[in-house]
Amino acid sequence: MTRPKQILYRNAGASPSRPYKHSTKGVFKVRDRPSILVAMRPALYDLLFADEQKERLTSLGAVSRQEEAGDLSEAQLTRLIGGQDIVITCWGSPTFSDAVLRSADRLKLIAHAAGSVKRLLPPPVFAAGRRVTHVAYSMSIPVAETTVAYILLSLRAYHKIDRAFKDDGWAAARDRPPSDELAGNRVGVIGAGYTGRAVIKRLRALEAQVWLYDPYVSEAGAAALGVSKVSLERLMRECPIVTLQAPSTDETYRMLGAEQFSWLRDGAIFINTARAHPIDEAALLAELQSGRISAALDVFDQEPLPDDNPFRKLDNVIMTPHIAAVTHQSYKRQGQITVDEVARYLSAGELRYEVTRAMLDTMA
């Protein structure tokens, strides 16, 4: 008796009736149609996954979804995860604790439909051949656009001109000193992860001179990005514009404190669309209160930011409430990338945006 061939599902528009030949990298046989758990609240699933992506996901396996309107608890995930080959997580999904992992008897892939996985997926998740992917790339695009917009807005002071125009009229808005251009200006970028690289790409397209501080990027890597690799001190001292794109790690905690902010030249612009974790907020506040520098900030130590927070009283600070990544396109791209990764894994055992255990210590 001959042994049946192993065959896999197609990436898109697949069904059990339309399989294709086995790849040596593939994961599932037809008789083992994979079980996929969507472990996120239904409203979030609808926000991120277009109808087309929902249909694709259903074609890839037997999909089950949580019915609870709110976020799952650890106990609920423990009950649901048994027998699941793939779990799709997102904001609000519970941590994969030891109890969860003990119940995850078939779990092979966790596809996180958001960015950081560090809180959600502790190191034991990566044992037993389990694999992880995420969609941080999707959010790097709007965050990079926000960063560049912040830089341009700060250089031209349009927010102040707008306020003067509305409050005091044409003459008051016109009676301001000349502003500065981005082209030819030097911008220091701290951190070259997904978002840092997206920022660099856009700054170079606008003809800015870009300096980079990232100890994990080699000289050759910096040259490939078209930037100059420099020390943190030199970047802070010599760049009139500095943007923080570093992740939240033990190594980056409070990497920018009173000494580092004192290195900024008078009139410097500081941008933070990454995390508050690397910043000593009190030290930044003191520099801003002196009026010596200006800033544009999307993230804060305490969120929501209290009404009486002193940052809210400063005219030399542009603030937004942690919304740099919030766009229609990014949301739908998160869903698309997630389904793409599941399809890629099932068809060839490959992942484009894989997260490994070794990456946890240096990523956001």
Helix (H, G, I), strand (E, B) or coil at 355: strand
Nearest-angstrom CA–CA distance, 185 and 154: 13
Nearest-angstrom CA–CA distance, 145 and 362: 23
* Catalytic residue, candidates 52, 68, 251, 303: 303
Task: Indicate if 275 belongs to the active site.
Answer: yes
Residues with Cβ within 8 Å of residue 309, at least 6 apart in sequence: 300, 302
Instruction: Identify which of 360, 322, 316 has the alpha carbon closest to the alpha carbon of residue 154.
Output: 316
SS3 sequence, 288-345?
HHHCCCEEEECCCCCCCCCCCCHHHHCCCEEECCCCCCCCHHHHHHHHHHHHHHHHHH
* Catalytic residue, candidates 186, 234, 322, 344: 322
Task: Indicate if 3 belongs to the active site.
Answer: no
At 13, list the tokens. 């528009």
At 321, list the tokens. 């409430």
* Summary count for the chain: helices (H), strands (E): 13, 15
Q: Is the dihedral of CA 166, 168, 170, 176 positive or negative?
A: negative
Task: Indicate if 303 belongs to the active site.
Answer: yes
Helix (H, G, I), strand (E, B) or coil at 149: helix
How many other C-beta atoms can be found within 10 angstroms of the C-beta atom of residue 322?
Answer: 16
**Pairing of the two strands 19-21 and 7-9:** antiparallel
Burial (0-12, 13-18, 19+ Cβ within 10 Å), 174: exposed
* Catalytic residue, candidates 112, 275, 281, 341: 275
Three-point CA angle 100, 130, 46, nearest 5°: 70
At 182, list the tokens. 């981005």
3-state DSSP helix/strand/coil percent for the chain, to nearest 5? 40, 15, 45
The catalytic residue positions are: 275, 303, 322
